Amino acid sequence: MDYDIFFSISQTPVDGYVPDEATMFGNFFDQVEAADGLGFGTAWIAEAHLSSEVQKTHRKPVIPHWQGEVGLNVDFLQLATRVFQRTRRIECGSAVMNILCNGGPVAAAERIAAFCTLHGLDPEERRRIQVGFAAGRFDFNNTPTGIRPQNFFEEAFWPLVKGKIFEEAALVFCHLLRGDVVESEELPKATVTRDDVKSNEEWDEVLRAAGSSPNVKSIELPHRWKFEATKIVPQDWRRELLQLVIGSHDPRLQARVNEILPVHVFNLSITRPDVIEATHERMSEAFHPHGGPWKRSYMPRTVFVFVNGEPGLSADQQRAAAHEEAHAAMGAYWTALEGTLDPKKVEKAADNALVGNPRDVAEQMVERFHPDDRLMLWFDFFDHDSPRVIRNMEVFMREVAPLVDEAVSR
């Protein structure tokens, strides 16, 4: 298996303690330097925008019960520059970059081109940025820069419309990064059809909201970004230093962006195994030929890790402590997101995590994952004890990983 690591840089209270921003970033750099030395492949870094504390004062707050800030990293490319300066081999990934806000897909593509130009000036540089890109989970990140419903129809079906806006953005983004000259009117307009909704009754509601007749088969949406012939600069940069990863579970869109460039795929920690396998099967056909054959490692699997290898504890004590830590962290997370503690959801999330002493975790990995999978391991989940987080990383790579290697090589 391949082992990556995820960093949230989430400034949330844990047992009443909230680190200041300097401490949060200091902890991050300590951990990413440790990850580099331990041999993790890619440091995936969460990206967020604007204060989640202040959004609680909005008329319709998105996460009204979240305490603190969801994330402090607002610029993946600047942070990646610092990471590359302080490490030797680890690559950097965005998890994920919102390409709707802050100027949209054109601005995002140009920033990436600028980064890759400077990053690639050293001919010996081989480390890539792996840019996960998506529409942004929380609308308060998008609305201040104009990504909001424009009429009654869009207001009534905003999640659906937002997905179509992301489709437009993704195509613009990929074309520009390939080096194409792009004109908005040359790109197909997104449409809403019966296939986009769950029932005939919902489709009738869509037609009424759009003011369309019952016989209409599709509703065309105007381009969100309108521009004449456009090409980003710099142009002559080393494209082998960039790997795109789409944060969408729309099979059609996964295929469409791969008509332009080789684009990998994200999945969530709670994605069902059958969906994961179906994605691998589909992408083996849809993956852009310039990327070579599709590999399972092209869809990193996010997983929470609660491993306890603390000295002075028996294996049973380590196991019990790990489960207690997992239950507390999961409970705090779902309470923050939903405002109510749903024990079933907490238990389900814990079932998707790796929990226990080193041998427990190794056995769970062998049972749940394919030997060719790539895992994006989340150690700092609701945990500000940075030395302990680093110890858990060390336990994983020095004790868990060898046990997994031994088991899968039999």
The pLDDT tens digits for 227-265 are 999 999 999 999 999 999 999 989 999 999 999 999 999
CA distance 320 to 308: 9
Strand partners for 303 = 377
Q: How many CA atoms lie within 13 A of 23 on its CB side?
A: 11
Q: Which of 260, 266, 265 is nearest to 174 (CA)?
A: 260
User: Would you state the pLDDT for residue 333?
Assistant: 79
CA distance 60 to 318: 43
User: Would you state the pLDDT for residue 334?
Assistant: 77
CATH architecture assignment, domain 2-145+166-172+229-408: Alpha-Beta Barrel (3.20)
User: Would you state the pLDDT for residue 342?
Assistant: 55
User: Would you state the pLDDT for residue 273?
Assistant: 84
User: Would you state the pLDDT for residue 160?
Assistant: 96
User: Would you state the pLDDT for residue 410?
Assistant: 81
Collect the ranges in the chain with pLDDT lower than 50.
Answer: 340-341
User: Would you state the pLDDT for residue 332?
Assistant: 80
User: Would you state the pLDDT for residue 265?
Assistant: 97
CA distance 308 to 120: 40
User: Domains of the chain: which residue ranges?
Assistant: 2-145+166-172+229-408
User: Would you state the pLDDT for residue 340?
Assistant: 40
Q: Which residues contact 273 (CB under 8 A, 6 or more apart)?
A: none
Residue 163 burial by CB count (10 A; 0-12/13-18/19+): exposed, middle or buried?
A: middle
pLDDT tens-place string over residues 44-95: 999 999 999 999 999 999 889 899 999 999 999 999 999 999 999 999 999 9
- DSSP one-letter code for 399: I
Residue 22 burial by CB count (10 A; 0-12/13-18/19+): exposed, middle or buried?
A: exposed
